[in-house]
Structure 1
Amino acid sequence: MSTIYELTGAGDRYFDGLVDKFSRSLYQAPRGELRLAMLDYLLPQMLRLDQQPVLDIGGGLGQQAAWFAERGHSVTMAEPSIDMLDYARQWHREAKGLPHEAIRYVNAPLQALIDEAPGPWPLITCHAVLEWLGDPRAAIAVLASLLAPGGQLSLMVFNRDALRFSNAVKGNLEKALNDRLEGMGKRQRLTPISPVTHAQIETWSAENRLAITEVAGIRVFQDYLRHPPTSDDERDTLLALERQYCRHDPHWRLGRYLLYTLTKPEAA
């Protein structure tokens, strides 16, 4: 019998009890490997990186926190799931060999960080978090309040338009037509409860005086392939294709994830 998971009072989905599912489905599978490879490729292009302190929100299993710590940043990793946080802490020490002082761990959701990690922060990463919140629009306001004037927010969201297109490609025509795309967040399936559109990110950013300075699509082609790559050469070719077109219109618009750099104006 499948385990039933409950949303929080705010309508958010946490991932206690799902460390193995995340590790296996998202990071030991081709789609997770490609996502990390594309972040490794894109973040140095899309961000000004000078070893500034980083707040990594919803850090999950700790991959992004480790990426920044290995590049000399002082990292604070916030994660509401204690299971995820404990896994990340152990992985950072044992597998990555990071010193204890490299990363500070905060067991808190995004909404609590105004008190738990107020900053202001010169650099915030919030990757694959908004789509698991009951109110992603309100989350943008919280992120803006945490960001220092002149600071950068690296925001990655699950793309609702890509989810619709993927359902149509798979033959789920009624689902795509009726726009019934959200997951319920009750079981182990990892269909987000609040996939968002580029238009929504544009609107919510403007509401909070955040400028979109960079945008890219992640997994622009992979999720639509009829025959996934089966050899290293084919995987290398797919990665090259993703890199070549991830920032080109119209291709980036159908990335399974959309990656943004948002900036806050300098103080007047």
Structure 2
Amino acid sequence: MSSNPQSINSQSNSYALTQAGDRYFDGLAEKFSRSLYQAPRGELRLAMLDYLLPEMLSLEGQRVLDVGGGLGQQAAWFAERGHCVSMTEPSADMLNYAKNWHRDVKSLPEGAITYLQTPLQLLTQHAPGPWPLITCHAVLEWLGDPQAALAALSNLLAPGGQLSLMVFNRDALRFSNAVKGNLEKALSDRLAGKGKRQRLTPISPVSHAEIEQWGADNGLMIDAVAGIRVFQDYLRQPPATPEEAETLLALEKQYCRHDPHWRLGRYLLYTLTKSETPE
């Protein structure tokens, strides 16, 4: 995965949900970069994607629609590997962050990434495809209606096309709350964030059972699944040395696709393929 984006300033202080109940991240690009990517958990997430995507996808230089591309790491990863990428993102701050960073990345082919500021719900109008490969990583959990979002993604996908989907795992969130001693919260299943202020607890964490059902409802077959950060979030102490960090990464790689371990990954990474014939 490419190196982390460089810092820019974000001025917006509006963190309210949209009318559709979605969470955008205007004003939070710096916090995302600092909290999620310039920290061990973000580094491990990117390392695991770098390891898993070539294993879980058939990559043949096809066009890619990167939905909710955030700070631009995933778009850069595909562009560096010869794909033409259309990166979409509803937040102007996040999109500008990605553009500014991409301009400084020497390994990116010129013109390999195009940008579109639009929410997922409007992509059928602005980027209808059909697309042979769609990536949608850590987006559904920030939407008011993730089930409808998956249906929209299926409509954008070409027959036989692949959807690389990563979601924040509701079951892992419950387990994490129990480990931290938030027993009543775990018992009552009060797990979702409220989307207020600068808090980054997802408003719609998703379960594996939901992805199975919603995928089947939309002609999507799960070809592969893996857990991202299966062990890291439950450690009593983080790795203290580079050697310990390497051992943790090796442990994550070894068990990320093994049952039952993948089921407690902080994120679940899927490859879903659209049926070539109508149901």
* Same fold flag (TM > 0.5): yes
* 1:159 is aligned to 2:181: no
Q: CA RMSD in A?
A: 1.0
Unaligned runs of 5+ in 1: none
Counterpart residue number, 2:203: 193
* Structure 2 counterpart SS, 1:52: coil
The counterpart of 2:129, out of the listed 119, 122, 147, is 119
| Separation (CA, whole Å) in 2 of partners of 1:91 and 1:71 | 18
Shift of 1:36: 0.2
| Separation (CA, whole Å) in 1 of partners of 2:142 and 2:173 | 15
- Amino acid across the alignment from 1:220: V
- Residues 123-142 of structure 1: matches in 2 within 5 Å? 123-142=133-152
Counterpart residue number, 1:10: 20
After superposing the two structures, state which structure 1 stretch, 92-101 or 113-122, moved more. Answer: 92-101
Counterpart residue number, 1:176: 186
Shift of 1:91: 0.5
Shift of 1:264: 0.5
Counterpart residue number, 2:45: 35
Unaligned runs of 5+ in 2: 1-12
Counterpart residue number, 2:54: 44
* 1:218 is aligned to 2:231: no
- Amino acid across the alignment from 1:91: W
- The one-character-per-residue Cα deviations of 1:54-98 (angstroms, maximum 9, x if unpaired) are 000000000000000000000000000010101101101113453
Q: Percent identity?
A: 77
Question: Is the contact made by 2:142 and 2:204 (CA closer than 8 Å) also made in structure 1?
Answer: yes
Question: Is the contact made by 1:53 and 1:121 (CA closer than 8 Å) also made in structure 2?
Answer: yes
| Separation (CA, whole Å) in 2 of partners of 1:22 and 1:122 | 29
Question: Is the contact made by 2:169 and 2:267 (CA closer than 8 Å) also made in structure 1?
Answer: yes
Structure 1 residues 96 and 253, CA gap change in structure 2 (3 angstroms): farther
The counterpart of 1:254, out of the listed 248, 257, 264, is 264
Question: Is the contact made by 2:15 and 2:26 (CA closer than 8 Å) also made in structure 1?
Answer: no
* Structure 1 counterpart SS, 2:87: strand
| Separation (CA, whole Å) in 2 of partners of 1:21 and 1:254 | 25
The counterpart of 1:73, out of the listed 78, 83, 86, is 83
- Amino acid across the alignment from 1:119: G
Counterpart residue number, 2:4: none
After superposing the two structures, state which structure 1 stretch, 144-153 or 90-99, moved more. Answer: 90-99
Q: Taking structure 1 as the reference length, what is the TM-score of the superposition? A: 0.98
* Structure 2 counterpart SS, 1:142: helix
The counterpart of 1:208, out of the listed 213, 218, 224, is 218
| Separation (CA, whole Å) in 1 of partners of 2:58 and 2:198 | 37
Aligned length: 266
- Amino acid across the alignment from 2:69: G
Shift of 1:152: 0.1
Question: Is the contact made by 2:141 and 2:167 (CA closer than 8 Å) also made in structure 1?
Answer: yes
- Amino acid across the alignment from 1:76: S
Question: Is the contact made by 1:209 and 1:265 (CA closer than 8 Å) also made in structure 2?
Answer: yes
| Separation (CA, whole Å) in 2 of partners of 1:37 and 1:92 | 19
| Separation (CA, whole Å) in 2 of partners of 1:214 and 1:97 | 29
Shift of 1:4: 5.9
Displacement over 4 Å in runs of 4+: none
Counterpart residue number, 2:244: 234
Q: Taking structure 2 as the reference length, what is the TM-score of the superposition? A: 0.94
| Separation (CA, whole Å) in 1 of partners of 2:180 and 2:14 | 27
| Separation (CA, whole Å) in 2 of partners of 1:209 and 1:192 | 26
